[in-house]
Amino acid sequence: MRRTSPFPLVALAAATLLVGGIPPDVGSPSMGRTAAEATNTATVFYYTKTKNWPATYLHYAPDGGSWTTVPGVQMEAACTDWVKETVDLGSAAGLQATFNNGNGTWDNNGGANYALGTGDITVKDGVIAHSDPCADTEPAEGNEATVYYSTATSGWTTANIHYAPTGGSWTTVPGVGMETACTGWWKKTLDIGTATSLKAAFNNGNGVWDNNNSADYTLPTGTTTVKDRTVTTAAADPCAAEEPDTEAPTTPAKVTASATNTSIVISWEASTDNTAVTKYQVTRTGGTKGTVVTDVGSTVYSDTGLEEQTGYTYTVKAVDAAGNTSPASAPATATTGEEAPEPASGTPLGTDPRKDPIYFVLTARFYDGDSSNNRGGSQHVKSGNAANNDPMFRGDFKGLVDKLDYIKALGFSAVWVTPVVLNRSDYDYHGYHGYDFYKVDPRLESAGASYQDLINAAHAKGMKIYQDVVYNHSSRWGAKGLFTPTVYGVRDSEWSWYYDEKNEGFEYDGLTVDPKSGKSYYNGDLWSTAEPSGNTCVNWGKATGGKSSEGYTLYNCQWPSPTSGMFPKAYYHQCWIGNWEGEDARSCWLHEDLADFNTENTAVQNYLIGAYDKYIDMGVDGFRVDTAVHIPRVTWNRRFLPAIYDRVTQKFGTTAAQNFFVFGEVAAFVNDKWNRGSVNHSAQFYTWKERKEYSADDETAAIEQFTYENNLGTGNQPTSTNAFLSGNSYHTPDRSQFSGMNIIDMRMHMNFGDAQNAYNNGKDSDDSVNDATYNVVYVDSHDYGPNKSSTRYSGGTDAWAENMALMWTFRGIPTLYYGSETEFQAGKQIDCGPTCPLASTGRAYYGDQLAGTVTASEFGKADTASGQVATTLAQPLVKHLQRLNQIRRAIPALQMGQYSTDGISGSMAFKRRYTSGSTDSFALVTVTGAATYTGIPNGTYTDAVTGDVKTVSNGTLSVTAPGKGNLRVYVLNGPGKIGSDGPYLK
């Protein structure tokens, strides 16, 4: 769910370490000229001792200019082991350069070329510095200052120190090249004559400076370190060998154990360590199995399948990366009860998620299989839903079970369902206002059609269930079992129509009607005529001076607020978001209906981990994570993601865990690669592990991570080739730095107003995603259409066909929002809350389109269909979709393959390959337009759309334009034509 906070806040501002250009206070009058005037030449020195080349050539191009003719200009001898060449740069600020021996052997900086600035530049074994290596370097007798400078935060690949001894002159810009000392540190020892200190600034040789916020640095003699603008004098050598870590973590505290039937949940407070705690060891004694030790990645562990009526004792130890182990905690004990009769749990299908196209449903709006659980809620009449006989909770699991064959007939093998936990709000059919995270909402369940029954029924048909989950927030009624507010506000004669009267002993379940009020019980226990004892809300009962739309008096605490005092700081954040690209976007409330969890609190983490363990145990195949961007990545990587995969591994094994599909909503509603330049708020950022250790305290670590990554910026983020072919070859992807969270492809989504635009933008971001072949790709959803449109996509049938043709053949997992196969509600406002009837929105009830019967034994084909659903299945986009699913399912390269556009002409044309064991699938794809492929393997290629056969003997294959919405998929040694011609694929 996405709502804009109506309560703006002053944005948090991150400190900026670096400023561009020559700093105004470091040159002094003796500098004499600006950077632009300083020089228009570069003298490049190249170290030859390690090359032993007979001659050395400089092949270069001034920035914005042309490259020299290969092999370039022969460099001249400078001094022992060095050659040089002076380059006239004209007006350019630098040059790109490579070096070679004139006979085909090159040094091109690992394929990246060397980016060089101006003045004297040295290139020695891949390291760039700024100095003249042939100058007389014999120091005169005098005082020395040894300066260490850290580039760990800035990510600079070289460093210069520009300085002036006290009373002396400044060096010539950019100063003196510093030497590599150790990872992240540069060093230079300076002779400063009789001076006892110096002024200094640092730069990267290409115009980026650190001048201590224009104040310059004052450094004394002796050894000094400069890191993140902090100067440490008389410092120890930061590159000295570190002492081995021998400090153990603190002992886990407040260990508790509670039994439910034959399961025991153990939780504890996080330990601290001088570096970081990496895991916990939980030791169990008791029962017939003796002592059992289990490694756990979070601070909660669910021990299941224990013996009945048996006492168990647990202790916990913390372990750090060096293997140091804390003492054992105080023991916690619990005694199991009788084994509960539980429904047969499901088992995840455990196959590669990229094989499974996803159909996304709002369960309550899809198909009504049981009208007895329908509920309209307190806004039923006001919204206009009553006039349409269209209660907000209408569809249910029974309806979804009944129509699984419809989804299978479309060709989808995964179903994404909206959150299933018990919700609590005046308008909560969508599922994003969670109240009891441990209970499935009974408005979705029926006799014989529980959530477990849905999971089992889907699995029986070879279909997966992806559950939408929310870790970021609860409802404004809090979270049952963690914290629920005592009272919100005044219930007087004006408000009695809206706020139910408190009814002692009545417990909200969303389904049962309160006998006192005669309507669904949503809020009676949270409003009072008189202020109750123990109230914590500030200024409770005092009139605000405003009026409601009905003309009624508004009071303080009428609605929940993070600043009201009614939500404790330990469990909930205490602010509104003010800057959507600031740190507060990860630690403040989105909306008054979405009370923002303090996810850095151990008790909150344990509550959520325990809740979602329940659904993992039921056999769901993955989680779609709502509002993932509003929780720090470091919290995901430390707590929630390890807990998810640990639980799947414990219950179902390693392979199931590897294929348990977690994909996050990292909402970036802009059309650029990085969300307004903020890496912390960009989707691809969440696919990576952390690359440094942070404080053991999660709240502190969240701030540290935001600041560290924000300072590194977009140019210093990790990159990946996991989505790309190497030439024509598939290579084993490197997933070692994968966080465990995949992403919804927000950039393609935002640009899907036009398929070509979406394609270009998707390609541009793929090197910054850990593995873009796992991206979830859709055109529109329950929140937005392309370009943050508030309406469902209305580009027309031809455009929809083209979008689908691209999504089903390009990298990523194609996903369709319910009804888009018939352009359902095209152009309608997606969501207007209770201010208009649901029937007029993009969340309208779809069941009328599905009336009748349908059976399907194969994906992408209906065996039988009657009634309205038969008419639905005959629609042109449905036929298009069915065949696309048939083609994708038959060609592994289209499911899991890497891709490349090298050697290809064409607007939306690419090649894909997937190789594993005996499978080697290679496909050439063009969508809508013509294409020519060069440098491809020779052999026989067959088009999966037309059956056309082309024999390639010269590495080239050309394809004429198939037309909008159509495509060609030429497969090397392919299976031939797949499916029958339809309205677009022909």
Q: Is the pLDDT of residue 35 over 50?
A: no
Alpha helices (H) along 766-908: 797-807, 868-873, 876-890, 892-896
pLDDT, average across residues 93-120? 88
pLDDT, average across residues 890-907? 97
713, 16 Cβ separation under 8 angstroms = no
Token pair belonging to 579: 């800057």
H or E stretch at 115 = strand 114-116
Residue pLDDT, tens place only, 231-259: 999 988 999 877 788 899 999 998 988 88
Residue pLDDT, tens place only, 730-756: 999 999 999 999 999 999 999 999 999
pLDDT, average across residues 379-402? 95
Alpha helices (H) along 891-974: 892-896
Distances (CA, A) of 312 to 167, 306, 497, 939: 76, 9, 52, 66
- What is the number of residues in the chain? 986
Higher pLDDT, 525 or 531: 531
In a 13 Å sphere around the CA of 301, the CA atoms on its Cβ side amount to 26
Q: Which of 35-49, 403-417, 872-886 has the lowest mean pLDDT?
A: 35-49
Position 134 scores a pLDDT of 85
Q: Which of 65-69, 240-244, 410-414, 884-888 has the lowest mean pLDDT?
A: 240-244
- Residue 707 burial by Cβ neighbours in a 10 Å radius (0-12, 13-18, 19+): middle
Position 497 scores a pLDDT of 78
Q: Is the pLDDT of residue 85 over 70?
A: yes
What distance in Å separates the CA atoms of residue 802 and residue 808, rounded to the nearest whole number?
10
Residue pLDDT, tens place only, 160-206: 999 999 988 898 888 888 998 888 899 999 999 889 999 999 998 87
- CB atoms under 10 Å from CB of 726, counted, come to 12
- Residue 533 burial by Cβ neighbours in a 10 Å radius (0-12, 13-18, 19+): exposed
Q: Radius of gyration of the chain from Cα atoms?
A: 32
Give the model's confidence band at 341: pLDDT under 50 very low, under 70 low, under 90 confident, else very high: low
pLDDT, average across residues 870-896? 98
- CA end-to-end span of the chain: 39
H or E stretch at 402 = helix 397-402
- CB atoms under 10 Å from CB of 857, counted, come to 12
Q: What pTM was computed for the model?
A: 0.72
According to DSSP, the residues that pair with 940 across neighbouring strands are 951
Distances (CA, A) of 110 to 114, 235, 481: 9, 36, 56
Position 531 scores a pLDDT of 84
pLDDT, average across residues 272-285? 89
What is the DSSP secondary structure assignment for residue 6, as one 8-state letter? S
pLDDT, average across residues 462-480? 95
pLDDT, average across residues 110-139? 80
Backbone angles phi, psi at 626, to 5 degrees: -75, 145
Q: Which positions ≥6 away from 874 have C-beta within 8 Å?
A: none
According to DSSP, the residues that pair with 284 across neighbouring strands are 292, 314
Signed CA dihedral, 935, 940, 945, 948: sign only? positive
Q: Is the pLDDT of residue 22 over 50?
A: no
What is the DSSP secondary structure assignment for residue 572, as one 8-state letter? B
416, 359 Cβ separation under 8 angstroms = yes
Q: Is the pLDDT of residue 32 over 50?
A: no
Q: What 3 state SS string does 845-873 have?
A: CCHHHHCCEEECCECCECCEEECHHHHHH
What distance in Å separates the CA atoms of residue 261 and residue 259, rounded to the nearest whole number?
6
What distance in Å separates the CA atoms of residue 860 and residue 841, rounded to the nearest whole number?
28
Distances (CA, A) of 211 to 24, 121, 157, 454, 744: 9, 21, 18, 63, 41
Token pair belonging to 123: 């290139």
322, 274 Cβ separation under 8 angstroms = no
pLDDT, average across residues 516-544? 78
- Antiparallel, parallel or unpaired: β 919-927 and 41-47: unpaired
E strands, 297-393, in order: 300-303, 311-320, 332-335, 358-361
What is the DSSP secondary structure assignment for residue 640, as one 8-state letter? I
What is the DSSP secondary structure assignment for residue 401, as one 8-state letter? H
Position 735 scores a pLDDT of 95
427: helix, strand or coil: coil
- Antiparallel, parallel or unpaired: β 414-417 and 464-470: parallel
Higher pLDDT, 207 or 814: 814
Determine the distance from the C-alpha atom of residue 222 to the mean position of all C-alpha atoms in its chain, rounded to a whole number: 46
Signed CA dihedral, 561, 567, 569, 570: sign only? negative
63, 95 Cβ separation under 8 angstroms = yes
What distance in Å separates the CA atoms of residue 771 and residue 55, rounded to the nearest whole number?
42
111, 92 Cβ separation under 8 angstroms = no
Token pair belonging to 982: 């339809």
According to DSSP, the residues that pair with 280 across neighbouring strands are 296, 318
Position 205 scores a pLDDT of 82
493, 552 Cβ separation under 8 angstroms = no
What distance in Å separates the CA atoms of residue 811 and residue 761, rounded to the nearest whole number?
13
Q: What share of the chain is helix, strand, coil (3-state, %, to 5)?
A: 20, 30, 50
917, 950 Cβ separation under 8 angstroms = no
Alpha helices (H) along 627-780: 633-635, 641-652, 654-658, 698-712, 746-750, 755-765
Closest CA to 978 of 839, 835, 851, 882: 882
Q: Which of 96-110, 428-442, 771-785 has the lowest mean pLDDT?
A: 96-110
Q: Is the pLDDT of residue 769 over 70?
A: yes
874: helix, strand or coil: coil
Higher pLDDT, 767 or 81: 767
693, 267 Cβ separation under 8 angstroms = no
Residue pLDDT, tens place only, 572-615: 999 999 988 888 899 999 988 899 999 999 989 999 999 999 99
In a 13 Å sphere around the CA of 567, the CA atoms on its Cβ side amount to 29
978: helix, strand or coil: coil
554: helix, strand or coil: strand
Q: Is the pLDDT of residue 29 over 50?
A: no
Which residue is listed with tokens 């090397």? 972
According to DSSP, the residues that pair with 311 across neighbouring strands are 335
Q: Is the pLDDT of residue 664 over 50?
A: yes
According to DSSP, the residues that pair with 616 across neighbouring strands are none
Q: Which of 116-130, 524-538, 640-654: highest mean pLDDT?
A: 640-654
Token pair belonging to 181: 């000392």
What distance in Å separates the CA atoms of residue 726 and residue 956, rounded to the nearest whole number?
18
H or E stretch at 617 = helix 602-617
According to DSSP, the residues that pair with 129 across neighbouring strands are 122
Closest CA to 626 of 323, 355, 421: 421
Signed CA dihedral, 969, 970, 974, 980: sign only? positive
Alpha helices (H) along 21-123: 28-31, 35-38
Determine the distance from the C-alpha atom of residue 591 to the mean position of all C-alpha atoms in its chain, rounded to a whole number: 22
Closest CA to 339 of 305, 362, 370: 305
According to DSSP, the residues that pair with 153 across neighbouring strands are none
pLDDT, average across residues 704-714? 93
Position 141 scores a pLDDT of 65
Which residue is listed with tokens 């990496």? 278
Which residue is listed with tokens 């600006």? 34
Give the model's confidence band at 699: pLDDT under 50 very low, under 70 low, under 90 confident, else very high: very high
Q: Which positions ≥6 away from 275 have C-beta within 8 Å?
A: 245, 320, 321, 322, 693
